[in-house]
Amino acid sequence: MILVIDVGNTSIVFGVYDGRKLLYHWRVSTDRSKTADEFGMLMISLLNNEKLDHRLIEAVVIASVVPPIMYSLEHAIRKYFGKKPMVVGPGIKTGINIKYENPREVGADKIANAVAALEIYGGPLIIVDFGTATTFCAISSKGEYLGGVICPGIKISAEALFQTAAKLPKVELVKPEGVLGRNTVSSIQSGIFYGYVGQVDYIVEKLKMEMKEDDIKVIATGSMARFIASESKTINDVNSFLAMEGLRIIYERNKSESSK
């Protein structure tokens, strides 16, 4: 079994694979103040809850966009699992040709998403990841990472609205019955939901024009993917486990060189 860890700014997703099968997955809040021992006991507790022996974990693979957390997390893996984690970054084989001006600027989560999407769907692709930020990644038919777009995420944008506009109440993020709101709550819900649907569809169409390729598939992932995809005209599929699948594939491509 291998343990894959996708560290995001808002949450950390853990997954356990037996071969190509995802056995279990967990999502916890990202806490930059956690110590190595706290991370270690958290991971062991999650595994124990599903009656999985942590001593059976053969390898650990990490994609992280939160550098301050990595010392404690890596130390926890070495101490409690006896493994040197494989961290997605320079020197790791991904099979992705990154055309970004500075390839090191591309987040490990985006690379994991691209690896999995190419394996599952083939190129060309646009990957829309609804996380703390909403990101769009353009992948060519040749497997080239062309670049993308970064927008404020749905939740942080909504939170900024509630904090800045004193008279506007916090509302539940749900799909409203229609665009036309007839009270403050439904008007806010409409603006957030349809505003983001419109943003996604417009940006996707502009990316397709610049990519100049045929049959570009649009894959959504992230915690809010299904929420927006329910109305989007451009999203073809939702894959909630894209990053975890990418980490598994990256491990397979590098395992002969990984430290045991």
Catalytic-role residue among 109, 201, 215, 237: 109
Please write down the HEC assignment for all residues of the chain. CEEEEEECCCEEEEEEEECCEEEEEEEEECCCCCCHHHHHHHHHHHHHHCCCCHHHCCEEEEEECCHHHHHHHHHHHHHHHCCCCEECCCCCCCCCEECCCCHHHCCHHHHHHHHHHHHHHCCCEEEEEECCEEEEEEECCCCEEEEEEEEECHHHHHHHHHHHCCCCCCCCCCCCCCCCCCCHHHHHHHHHHHHHHHHHHHHHHHHHHHHCCCCCEEEEEECCHHHHHCCCCCCCEECCCHHHHHHHHHHHHHHHHCCC
Q: Is 109 a catalytic residue?
A: yes
| Residues with catalytic function | 109
